[in-house]
């Protein structure tokens, strides 16, 4: 048994398999999962685990070189979005796309992590960086 770190076996495996330029999405409870994309469903009740909690923990393990959010996040959930931005490394580029485009881009993700978050537009595409 692991003493610390990511204890969820599927999530730990996916994080270990991610390579440079792979994308990983952290999403709210309602984000649809395209066929063929691995689903890691962490949510077990409303707000648990929360989007920000999951994002913060994933960033402890994953090197991220870029992040993409839905444009709507800035308007619909601005405080939540600012908190998410503050968790990201300060030196990475952040861009925005319409939510429909974010869902389209999710078809190419290595995996999508669903949280128990019910706050609208709390989804982010993380592009993996390289450790060297």
Q: Domain total for the chain?
A: 1
Domain of 44, CATH number, reads 3.40.1650.10
HEC readout, the chain: CCCCCCCCHHHHHHHHHCCCCCEEEEECCCCCCCCCCEEEECCCECCECCHHHHHHHHCCCCCEEEEEEECHHHHHCHHHHHHHHHHCCCCCCEEEECHHHHHHHHHHCCEEEECCCCCCCCCEEEEECCCC
Answer whether residue 70 is part of any domain. Answer: yes
Would 13 be classed as within a structural domain? no
Domain range holding 42? 20-128
Residue 90 within any structural domain of the chain: yes
Residue 121 in any domain: the answer is: yes
Token pair listed for 43? 């949510």
In a domain, 7, yes or no: no
- The neighbour count for residue 98, using CB atoms within 10 Å, is 11
pLDDT for residue 111: 98
Is 105 domain-assigned?
yes
Tokens standing for residue 112: 């999508």
pLDDT at 110: 98
Q: Does residue 6 belong to any structural domain of this protein?
A: no
- Averaged pLDDT, groups of 10, the chain, 132 residues long: 93 98 98 98 98 98 98 97 98 98 98 98 98 94
Active centre residues (catalytic): 20
> Does any domain span residue 60?
yes
Tens-place pLDDT, residues 53-79: 999 999 999 999 999 999 999 999 999
**Whether 17 contacts 127, CB under 8 Å:** no
Residue 1 has what pLDDT? 84
């Amino acid at each position: 048994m692991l003493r610390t770190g990511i204890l969820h076996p599927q999530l730990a495996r996916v994080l270990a398999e991610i390579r440079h330029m792979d994308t990983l999405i952290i999403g709210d409870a309602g984000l649809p999962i395209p066929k063929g994309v691995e689903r890691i469903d962490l949510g077990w009740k409303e707000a648990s685990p929360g989007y920000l909690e999951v994002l913060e923990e994933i960033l402890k393990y994953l090197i991220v070189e870029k992040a993409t959010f839905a444009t709507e996040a800035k308007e619909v959930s601005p405080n939540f979005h600012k908190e998410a931005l503050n968790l990201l490394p300060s030196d990475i580029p952040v861009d925005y796309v319409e939510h429909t485009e974010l869902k389209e881009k999710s078809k190419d993700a290595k995996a999508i992590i669903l949280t128990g978050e019910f706050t609208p537009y709390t989804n982010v595409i993380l592009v993996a960086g390289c450790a060297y």
